[in-house]
Amino acid sequence: MEDAGATVLVVDDDAAVGKVLSALLRQAGLQAMHELSGEAALARLASAPVDLVLTDLRMPGMDGMDLLRQVVREWPDVPVVMLTAHGSVARAVEAMKAGAADFMLKPFDREEVAFTVHKVLQATRQLRRNPPRQSPLPGEMVGQCDAMQALADLVRRGAQTAATVMIRGESGTGKELVARALHDASPRRGQPFVPVHCTALPEALLESELFGYEKGAFTGATSRKPGRVELAEGGTLFLDEIGDLALSIQVKLLRLLQEKEYQRVGGTRPLRANVRFVTATHRDLEAMVRSGEFREDLYYRISVFPVELPPLRERGEDIALLAHHFCHTLAAENGRDPLRIEDSAVERLTQASWPGNVRQLQNVIERLVILVDGPRITEAAVEQELARQPQLHGPEAGSMEGTVADSAPADLKSQLLSAERQALVDALERARHNRSQAARLLGISRRTLYNKLEEFDLL
């Protein structure tokens, strides 16, 4: 089992509950640590790698929601599962909106704990292997070129309708940002916006995530649980990378879109859904329809109001605007005093091709914000970061094993290992030995960083 040995941090002010949960997790083949408060949990996260946080909602001092928001902000690659009182769906919705990966209702039993934790670990692992192809930009949509002005007009028009919107665009163009903008400009703005990343879960789990399940529907289903459709009631359900849905799920989704009805897994009665649907994809759905990989009737159902996002290479005049925007917002997010990016540095950024689109530009600016010591981002600093792009945007360090290194001659293997070790050392020095920042600089997860530090005897 891939989850074997994964570390779960249990946070509960009740020592007895924490002890029981830790024992159940160990029986499931996981490592478990227990802290009695949110403050202690944050200290633990800062000192040791953690794969998942399982926290109670109601605790004295820092409660579960405060802890969730802090973890999402400081350790975004660590999923959080919330424990809430039985039947507290409203709190579950709040937690999911704040970034929780899942929730469990009290009382719970061994099968439910193991099932939920393994499911979230599996989804997180899949997301790390195939990251979501969009990354919402801080704040609102940014752009002044004609293409972005036309896009903004489409968003305003589409937001006022009930039509299903399909957002198309290359990786990194900001598809979820547009989906959120549609929701925020719509009459449903005060209701939940619930994203579902269709690539994050296998078919069997995705169905229960979307539609929920009844008690006894399968092993581990010890109580009824609402799905994402139910959590989005009255609001917007965003289905990202809908082109990756299995045909069996496409059939059920088609019924939901046509009839506004669905059934929980294991359920016998239909439920009504008052949900606005927004979908996104980077794939050629027309070609998939011709090849039989995507249902033609579903394609026409979701493409009522198509929206196309332009790649950054077609938005050259927006690069300077985006660079200043990211410089300002990311400095604030990283606790820096206001930074200025020099005109020559901006000019150098506009000359780059940006195959990774806005997300790649955002990543470069964020690394510069973290690394520069003075009050300005200079052209020299930009040049240095652009030169590092092949390394920073390639595969994770751990994925080199079994590929190039295994097929290379012995002397080349040695050079590759030496370069990998030096990259780790450089990142640690540039991040002032803040391992979370070092992992972000290298474009890898904290867990991969710790594994590599141990491998090269750098801990």
- Per-residue pLDDT tens digits for 240-258: 999 988 898 999 999 999 8
What mean pLDDT do residues 391-416 have?
43
pLDDT at res. 279: 96
pLDDT at res. 447: 67
- The CA distance from 341 to 402, in Å, is 41
pLDDT at res. 400: 34
- Respond yes or no on whether the N-terminal peptide bond of residue 311 is cis (omega within 30° of 0): no
In this predicted structure, the answer to whether residue 8 has a pLDDT above a threshold of 90 is yes
Confidence of residue 396 (pLDDT cuts 50, 70, 90): very low
Closest CA to 381 of 370, 392, 391, 390: 370
In this predicted structure, the answer to whether residue 138 has a pLDDT above a threshold of 60 is no
Per-residue buried b or exposed e for 271-285, using 16+ beta carbons within 10 Å of the residue's own CB = bebebbbbbbbbeeb
Question: CA 228, 233, 234 angle in degrees (round to 5)?
Answer: 145
In this predicted structure, the answer to whether residue 136 has a pLDDT above a threshold of 60 is no
Distances in Å between the Cα of 39 and the Cα atoms of 95, 147, 205, 216, 435 are 19, 47, 33, 37, 20
**Where is pLDDT greater, at 1 or 310?**
310
Per-residue buried b or exposed e for 15-27, using 16+ beta carbons within 10 Å of the residue's own CB = eebbebbbebbee
Contact 393, 444 (CB under 8 A): no
pLDDT at res. 402: 38
What mean pLDDT do residues 41-63 have?
91
Strands 193-197 and 236-240, how do they pair? parallel
Confidence of residue 127 (pLDDT cuts 50, 70, 90): confident
Closest CA to 200 of 242, 259, 233: 242
% residues pLDDT > 70 (the chain):
87
- The CA distance from 184 to 187, in Å, is 8
- The CA distance from 35 to 7, in Å, is 13
As a whole number of Å, the CA-based R_g of the chain is: 23
pLDDT at res. 89: 63
pLDDT at res. 457: 67
pLDDT at res. 86: 55
> What's the whole-number average pLDDT of the chain?
83
Q: How many helices (H) and strands (E) does the chain have?
A: 21, 14
Per-residue buried b or exposed e for 191-228, using 16+ beta carbons within 10 Å of the residue's own CB = bbbbbbbbbbbeeebbbbbbbbbbeebeebbbbbbbbb
**Domains of the chain, CATH where assigned:** 7-129 (3.40.50.2300), 146-310 (3.40.50.300), 313-392 (1.10.8.60), 397-455 (1.10.10)
**Where is pLDDT greater, at 412 or 182?**
182
pLDDT at res. 293: 92
Contact 121, 3 (CB under 8 A): yes
- Alpha-helix residue ranges (DSSP H) falling in 212-356: 228-231, 247-259, 285-291, 296-302, 319-333, 343-351
- SS3 at position 166: strand
- Alpha-helix residue ranges (DSSP H) falling in 198-318: 203-211, 228-231, 247-259, 285-291, 296-302
Closest CA to 393 of 424, 350, 355: 355
What mean pLDDT do residues 329-348 have?
86
What mean pLDDT do residues 310-330 have?
90
In this predicted structure, the answer to whether residue 133 has a pLDDT above a threshold of 50 is no
What mean pLDDT do residues 228-239 have?
93
Query: In the block, which residue shows the tokens 């949110």?
Result: 38
Confidence of residue 413 (pLDDT cuts 50, 70, 90): low
What mean pLDDT do residues 192-212 have?
84
pLDDT at res. 26: 92
Closest CA to 251 of 204, 319, 298: 298
Confidence of residue 19 (pLDDT cuts 50, 70, 90): very high
What mean pLDDT do residues 13-28 have?
91
In this predicted structure, the answer to whether residue 179 has a pLDDT above a threshold of 90 is yes
